[in-house]
Structure 1
Amino acid sequence: MSQKILVAGSGKSGIAASKMALDTEHEVILYDSNEALDAEAVRGQFKEDEAIEVLLGELKKESLKDVGLCVISPGIPLDAPFVEVLKACEIPVWSEIQLAYHDAKGKLAAITGTNGKTTTTSLVGEILSAYYKEVFVVGNIGTPYTSTALRTTDQSYTVAEISSFQLETITDFRPDVSAILNITPDHLNRHKTMDCYINVKERIAENQTKEDACILNYDDPVLRRFGETIAPRVIYFSSRELLPEGICLDGDMIIRNHDGVRMEIINIHDMNLLGRHNHENVMAAAAIAMELGVPLETIQSVIRDFKAVEHRIEFVAEKAGVKYYNDSKGTNPDAAIQAVNAMPGPTILIAGGYDKNSEYDEWIRSFGKKVRYMVLLGQTREKIAECAARHGFTNVMYAEDMQEAVRVCASYANAGEYVLLSPACASWGMFKDYEERGDIFKECVRNL
């Protein structure tokens, strides 16, 4: 590549992609459709000697002279008006991970799925770091792939958390090991249909060959069928069936059956992670690490010491005998089901937020007798309350902000019970992101 590159989006991903493009001696235009941004403030994130043009507002054809490639940030939908301008000019569109992959070296493990990506990516990163010297943990987890790609060598191992948005615009992206943890409804406000969402997730393996490996959840019928159609070697994991070949639960023991040999990985009671979904995350992480040559002893040691990632069923504090858990990363109903199931006893739930066109019926049904009360916030609170009422759950209260929600929960919870923030919705509207939502929840709990 030696052409001018247009980078769309001035957030963390766009800034990192722009810097990588500059470091590989390309001319760069950093574009953002938000004309209210301060162009000088955006330009101020680059060194003085980095020649970058900042373009805000409407994108016009005349601005695209000599542009040969657009790198688009994951938060920008492909039906954005400026993308039509790019198509009219026949300018190819890459995701930030595709740009990074183009110049990265070493081994790559790429992990996607509706839920569990961050936990699994973090765990794989820690396992690899315990055995190899050069390990990079990147992607949706917080560090853009483009910020590390040029530092990789042939001895490097990169673990990337990959979202569906990032997979929409790959070309030859080919991980040595890919993993799809699960696929349940999410982001349908962007992908429109479940079939489209599934197809995008499955793109993670489309360029893999028989020399590569793909880790799949056997308990997901969509992924089980997918595994029968793809080129790479498939390794299944299951928390519900004893697999003759693959990684699974045998009683309380996570094992791997391979070529007639049974290998014990770890007893679930020796782990710090709560819930069946975390058993699956550990299985996937172990499979990835084994494929990348890490010995069993290292895998076992790291899993044993690994604690929940921040904002994912994270223990916050115990107040007056009530235990508080932060699951702000539970941004869809399936993730919220997993969090409720992980609570050991009676629970008061804080939920609600931005509407991603999710359906809440299955989530409400999962409450059983465990959820005693639900305190609702945000745009979806009426929609969730109406759904709960249809299923006979009427112990619902509204709160205007997180402080009020935590205060209400504290007044209703008895010693020995649990308060869980697991919103089943995105954070937008009330909070900058799920991290801010979780941080505010934790602050409110500690101030009780």
Structure 2
Amino acid sequence: MKNITSYQGKNILVLGLGKSGYETAKLLHVLGANVTVNDGKDVSLTNEAKELEALEIKVVSGHHPIELLGDIDLIVKNPGIPYHIPFIQEAIARNIQIITEVELAYEINEGKIIGITGTNGKTTVTSLIGDMFKHSNQTGLLCGNIGFVASLVAQNAKSEDTLITELSSFQLMGIRHFKPHIALITNIYSAHLDYHGTQDEYVSAKLNIVKNQTAEDYLIFNYKQKELLNNFEIESQIIYFSTEEKVNGSYIVDGKIYFQNEFIIDVDEVVLPGKHNLENILSSIAAAKLSDIPNESIIATLKSFEGIKHRLQFVMTHENVKYFNDSKATNTLATTFALDAFHSPIHWLCGGLDRGNGFEDLDEHVSNVKHMYIFGQTTEKLKAFAESHHIPYSICDDVKDAVLQTKGNTVAGDTVLLSPACASWDQYPTYEVRGEDFIQHVKLLQ
């Protein structure tokens, strides 16, 4: 990693002792900072807190005392902590700069960065690009929102390596110098309004990914949403992807995929299912080609990559009923893709955290839904949705209860689909835990 000195002797507060907070505190300690860690939950007895205290890093937990801000030069904030909490508002009032951990990853990284963001598809795209690198002679290291702490990965990366970094809007709000050589935005739809407040703020957070790019860098963008770029100054070279027309970038003509007039592969040879995944594939191809990944490596991925866990993941067939785990569908757009993927009668498991949005986006996508199994904070909204569409429904305690209730309702040829259209945090710590709960109880049906 780069030997940077800008943090030596600085008083830095790491806010949130999750995986990224833990690694951030250790990194800043190595870089010579005076580090304090603060978490609103009581983490005093955790192994992480004890290990940090052994390094003489102060850990304050259980609340956010304002006096911690007294001599702080910088806050490195967990992305999930909203800016509207009083502690952060007081820090802003005191003009204390707030960044997220991906900024540190950029500052110490020796090689190039591909940054991937978007409302839907970013984990699939990050994984696709990583697989294309894996089939080549280049090293691509997955990190960021995909589950590997970016600053930890960057510490071990070499100058010839590429960080393939999945980025959330929450992370991108906390950057100052962060600059990916290739920025990729899969799409931007309505999401996270409970955090950002307005759609304009959400779009601005996503477009932060390009704010430091120069003419030597690239932005890969969805052509059907190009108007979103009109309000932003883009210095980088824009490469589009489109499933509908020929563009400067990746596109499909007569069932064949091209990148800038170069034939890559027939659509029929691609393994990854779903029409929505064609956009993910096209954007991934663009990133790979701009990174000088050879065609044979790209093709090898597209002929073998079947998808990621919790995204339209086939679980099993029981009594001729197929079960699919789409727990990663944390918004309505992702669920439309899932509902449209099946022609069989669907038993739809849905619900979760209420972020204030409605479900009218799903109106045109429920013709195959035979029964709804509703759980979580959005129960009343989804109950009203079911009634307005004359869909039978069951009110369930949680995913486990929903799975159990499907057993008496399904017949051979049906599909059981967990695609919640909501975040998991009202009942589960992550969508992965929610998906594993589904998988576990589906397998118990045998």
The TM-score, its normalising length taken from structure 2, stands at: 0.93
Contact 1:374–1:397, Cα closer than 8 Å, also in 2: yes
**Tell me, what secondary structure is at the counterpart of 2:115?**
strand
Give the gaps of 5 or more residues in structure 2: 1-5
Give the AA of the match of 1:254.
I
After TM superposition, give the deviation of residue 335 of structure 1 in Å: 0.5
Q: Report which stretch shifted further, 241-250 or 168-177.
A: 241-250
C-alpha distance after superposition, 1:267-317 (max 9, x if no partner): 333223221211111111111011111011111111211121000000100
The alpha carbon displacement at 1:201 in A equals 0.7
Report 1:93-172 matches (<5 A). Answer: 93-172=98-177
Range with bigger deviation, 57-66 or 345-354? 57-66
Residue of structure 2 equivalent to 1:6: 13
What SS does structure 1 have at the residue aligned with 2:183? strand
Residues 226/265 of structure 1: CA separation in 2 closer, same or farther (3 Å cut):
farther
CA distance change for structure 1 residues 273 and 171 in 2, over 3 Å: closer, same or farther?
same
2:319 matches 1:304: no
CA drift at 1:172: 1.2
**What's the counterpart of residue 358 of structure 2?**
359
CA deviation map 1:197-250 (0-9, x unaligned): 1111111111111100000011225446468x51111111112x2214321222
| Alignment correspondent of 1:396 | 393
Question: Number of matched residues?
Answer: 438
Q: Structure 1 vs Structure 2: percent identity of aligned residues?
A: 35
Q: Where do 5+ consecutive residues of structure 1 fail to align? A: none
User: Secondary structure at 2:408's aligned position in 1?
Assistant: helix
Which of 6, 17, 20 aligns to 2:24? It is: 17
Query: Kindly tell me: are residues 244 and 145 of structure 1, through their superposed partners in 2, closer, same or farther at Cα, counting changes over 3 Å?
Result: closer
**Residues 216 and 223 of structure 1 are in contact (CA less than 8 Å); yes or no, is this contact kept in structure 2?**
no
| Residue 444 in structure 1 maps to residue 441 in structure 2 | yes
Matched with 1:78 is: 83
The separation in 2 between residues aligned to 1:20 and 1:340, in whole angstroms, is 44
Deviations, residues 349-404 of structure 1 (Å, cap 9, x unaligned): 10011111122012133112x211111111111111212323x2332221123232
Aligned with residue 245 of structure 2, among 230, 242, 245 = 242
Contact 2:241 2:247 in 1 (8 A): no
1:285-434 matches, cutoff 5 A: 285-368=284-367, 370-390=368-388, 392-434=389-431
Task: Find the aligned partners of 2:185 and 2:303 in 1 and give their Cα distance.
Answer: 23
Instruction: Give the equivalent residue in structure 2 for 1:43.
Output: 49
**Could you tell me how far apart the structure 2 residues matched to 1:64 and 1:238 are?**
48
Whole-Å separation in 2 of the counterparts to 1:407 and 1:112 = 36
SS in structure 2 of the partner of residue 411 of structure 1: coil
Residue 196, structure 1, aligned to residue 193, structure 2: no
Letter in 1 for 2:286: A
Shift, 1:341, TM fit: 1.2
Equivalent residue for 2:3?
A: none
Deviation, structure 1 residue 78: 1.1
Alignment check: 8 A CA contact 1:205 1:214 kept: yes
C-alpha displacement of 1:264: 2.2
* TM-score normalised by the chain length of structure 1: 0.93
Match of 1:215, SS?
strand
Compared CA separation, residues 29 and 119, structure 1 to 2 (3 A):
same
Letter in 2 for 1:317: M
Separation of aligned partners in 1, 2:334 and 2:101: 26
| 8 Å CA contact 1:318, 1:324 repeated in 2 | yes
Tell me how far apart the structure 2 counterparts of residues 179 and 107 of structure 1 sit (CA, whole Å).
Answer: 14
Which amino acid in the other structure matches residue 74 of structure 1?
P
